[in-house]
Amino acid sequence: MPELSQNESADHFLQLIQKSRKGKFKLYIGMSAGVGKTYRMLQEAHQLIRSGINLKIGFVETHNRAETAALVGDLPTIPRKKVFYKSKELEEMDLQSILNQHPEVVIVDELAHTNIPGSKNEKRWQDVVELLQAGISVISAVNIQHLESLNNQVYHITSVEVSERVPDHVLRMADEIVNIDLPADELIQRLKDGKIYHGAKIEAALSNFFRSEQILQLRELALKEVAYQVEKKIETEVLGPNRLRPEKLLACISSNNEGAQKIIRQTARLASYYDANWYVVYVQTPREDPDKIKLASQRHLINNFKMATEMGAEVIRVKNNSVSDAVLNIALEKQISFIILGKPHFNHWNFVFKSTLLRNMLLKTESTPIDLIIVS
């Protein structure tokens, strides 16, 4: 699909707004900070206002970048809410004021932002969902490293743990996704020229996220993700009811926190590619009775259930002496197409237990239409 020019992109989003009273969602994605997502959103804001659209700035973060700040100019802005937290006065997007004023379109930057404790919603993407449900169209932006299911890949590329993340289903909600791309050398030059960060932050950035090899890999992730989302939207809107019956995936996790997170994220990616319904199953065997596992493991388990739910899964918890029996029963009941298991680790007891589980699952699914997927 050819990329639209800035004017054509704004006109297309304007047509979407005019077609429906339901809020429309446009999302700008970039490979890193400084590629120009906020700048493009503000350019579009000016164009929509010139077209007679009632648009307001809900939240924009300029990061003291002169070019971006100049574009904010006199755009109509809903003042931020002042919140006291830990004896400090902080500013947050005023969700209730936006809902009360009910503009046709609102600009909401930093989609992955975590709201100040005590806010109505924990995450800004949840604020956006509420605005869309209220019939307000939203233009927002996010960097590819904040996508939940890519967290492990991003860590492998950058060795940086990204704490603020957005569930994949939020991207699928978008009516329009635009990738803001920039060659790696141009992005690095912008950083060196002080157009992204200032002072000591420049050297720190050059040593971390802004190394050429990392930028290229993040750029590839962003390009692939946007291309995939566009392809999926075409399939959904063009093929419609003629599409094949969606697959169903079942991810098997234990109380092992790191392994569970990887399985959940990789299953979320698979579910997105297959456009599939998916489930996460935890089988509590006697050896994983709450009295026998640490409190920290129990907390991690609950957090993983929450993460899976936010990413679009249905969580199933069962008690059974046999993991393989329980998983197979659920798989047959839910008409599962693929069961996703973690690859055994090669320490003695883990290997004995998990390889036994794997062997049992292979034997028990042999006469069924269910396939096994082993992820590392």
pLDDT value at position 178? 93
pLDDT at 240 over 70: no
Is the overall model pTM greater than 0.85, yes or no?
no
Query: Is residue 116's pLDDT more than 60?
Result: yes
pLDDT recorded at residue 282: 95
Q: What is the pLDDT of residues 18-63, one digit of tens each?
A: 656 679 999 999 998 889 999 999 999 999 999 999 999 999 998 8
pLDDT confidence of residue 4? 58
Closest of 67, 232, 57 to residue 140, by C-alpha? 57
Q: pLDDT tens digits for 167-192?
A: 988 998 999 999 999 888 999 998 89
Percent residues over pLDDT 90 in the chain = 48
Residue 92 in this model has a pLDDT that exceeds 50 = yes
Q: Left if phi > 0, otherwise alpha if psi is -120 to 50, otherwise beta: which for 322?
A: beta
CA distance 355 to 346: 10
Pick from 11-15, 119-123, 124-128, 256-260: least confident: 11-15
Average pLDDT, the chain: 86
What distance in Å separates the CA atoms of residue 179 and residue 150, rounded to the nearest whole number?
17
Q: Please tell me the least confidently modeled range out of 11-15, 40-44, 233-237, 242-246.
A: 242-246
Query: What does the pLDDT average to over 283-304?
Result: 87
In this structure, are residues 191 and 215 in contact, taking their beta carbons and an 8 Å threshold?
A: no
Distances in Å between the alpha carbon of 82 and those of 36, 91, 100, 115?
A: 27, 5, 17, 12
Of 24 and 242, which is predicted with more confidence? Answer: 24
Q: How confident is the model at residue 6 (pLDDT cuts 50, 70, 90)?
A: low
Instruction: Indicate if the pLDDT at residue 352 is higher than 50.
Output: no
